Amino acid sequence: MSDCPAIRVRHLWHNFGGPPVLRDVSFDINQGEIFGFIGPNGAGKTTTIRILATLLEPAAGRVEIDGMDVTMAPEEVRRIIGYMADHAGIYERISVREYLEFFADAYRIPALSVVEAVLELTDITSLQDQLVATLSKGQKQRLQVARILLHDPKVLILDEPASDLDPRARIEIRDLLGELQSLGKTIILSSHILSELADVCTSVGIIERGQIVVAGPIDSIAAQLAHRQSTDPHAHAAGGGPAPNYNARVIQVRLLGDAAQAAAQLQGGPGITGVRTTAHGLDITYVGDETAVANIVGHLVHRGFGVTGVQQAHSDLERIFLQATGNNGGPS
Ligand SMILES: Nc1ncnc2c1ncn2[C@@H]1O[C@H](COP(=O)(O)OP(=O)(O)OP(=O)(O)O)[C@@H](O)[C@H]1O
Ligand SMILES: [Mg+2]
């Protein structure tokens, strides 16, 4: 079975009685990948993930995990997946060790050595006698990961594992995911914040308004997009919108003042192909050289916005994300 993709998603549609919230979602995740499932709030990440985790039946389409259909064989699928919900509740008034022993018992995992092993792997052995209620958010998150590892699943499905964590706890989760990958696990994790994931993912799927914009291994997406651009200058991203320009570059600008107003000042300016507001300011996609950057900063300062930082977006993942979605973020 190991030559089939770990996860194969084909033509998923779903609605909750109203308009479709998933529209023909398809992607593959190869064995051993860490797949970042990225999209804004309400894009359809949790809906897709709940279908993968056998908790929701799609209106149409199919999902196979390690070659098994999630709708036809949910019991078998559950044995090989570990699922962590977003904002999952957690029993608080027992110790860390009791918590894990409780779930080991529920999963009929006899050996206490398994509990020792997951405590060790998630680096919470020293916390085993503490009450769950006394753990930090990051420690609780690692405990949740420990819980879903008890039955040694091949595939981990994590909905927003890094949200609400401080930067240090996020790095610890990232390191843990890397370690799990080196043990041969396949991991899908969702986020609406790209930078949470940028340096741990080996492949990525970007979803917007229920549709996949782009999906695949990071290096092949970059090549695929560049090829699409060079062979068909009128190529459009899935979901419509203007054709992204893959020769464009992206700068991240931190600024004082209203980012949406600053974005409105820049939209349509010379060389600017996209402006997106972020927590700290703007992500600006542009075509040009250093002079173009100086002009953008000059324009903002001239309009009364204090610019406190400018940096190029470097990672391939950031570039793909911003260029694939760059025209959808700001006011127009
Ligand atoms: N149980 C439900 N009943 C009705 N509509 C729902 C339900 N669950 C989700 N939706 C709608 O489906 C769409 C997709 O929601 P979903 O939770 O999958 O998004 P998401 O990408 O996980 O967002 P977030 O980043 O906020 O977690 C949204 O428009 C949401 O309002
Ligand atoms: Mg969600």
Overall number of domains in the chain: 2
Residues 113 and 204 in one domain: yes
Beta-bridge partner residues of 205: 37, 215
- The closest ligand to the CA of 44 turns out to be 1
Give the residue whose CA is nearest to atom 5 of ligand 1: 16
Domain encompassing residue 122? 7-217
Pocket test for ligand 1, best of 21, 23, 50 (most atoms within 8 A of CB): 21
Take residue 93 and report the two structure tokens written for it.
């008034």
Residue 223 lies in a domain: no
Residue 307 lies in a domain: yes
Residues 263 and 194 in one domain: no
Which residues form ligand 1's pocket by a CB distance below 6 Å? 16, 21, 39, 41-47, 192
E-only strand ranges, the chain:
7-15, 20-29, 34-38, 60-65, 68-69, 81-84, 155-158, 186-191, 203-208, 211-217, 249-255, 272-277, 281-286, 307-312
Residues 24 and 149 in one domain: yes
**Cβ contacts of 109-114, under 8 Å, gap ≥ 24:** 109/150, 109/151, 114/150, 114/152
pLDDT attached to residue 154: 97
Instruction: Look up the CATH number of the domain holding residue 279.
Output: 3.30.70.100
> For the chain, which ranges sit under pLDDT 50?
233-244, 246, 327-332
Cα–Cα distance measured from residue 9 to residue 5, given in angstroms and rounded to the nearest whole number: 10
pLDDT attached to residue 331: 33
Pocket test for ligand 1, best of 12, 47, 158 (most atoms within 8 A of CB): 47
Q: What separation in Å is there between the alpha carbon of 4 and the centre of ligand 1?
A: 30
Residues 184 and 257 in one domain: no
Instruction: Look up the CATH number of the domain holding residue 42.
Output: 3.40.50.300
Residues 70 and 185 in one domain: yes
Indicate the residue among 180, 202, 217 that finishes a domain: 217
pLDDT attached to residue 219: 73
Give the residue whose CA is nearest to atom 9 of ligand 1: 47
pLDDT attached to residue 241: 44
pLDDT attached to residue 328: 43
Residue 272 lies in a domain: yes
Cα–Cα distance measured from residue 27 to residue 294, given in angstroms and rounded to the nearest whole number: 40
Q: Which atom of ligand 1 is nearest to the CA of 48?
A: 18
Residues 166 and 38 in one domain: yes
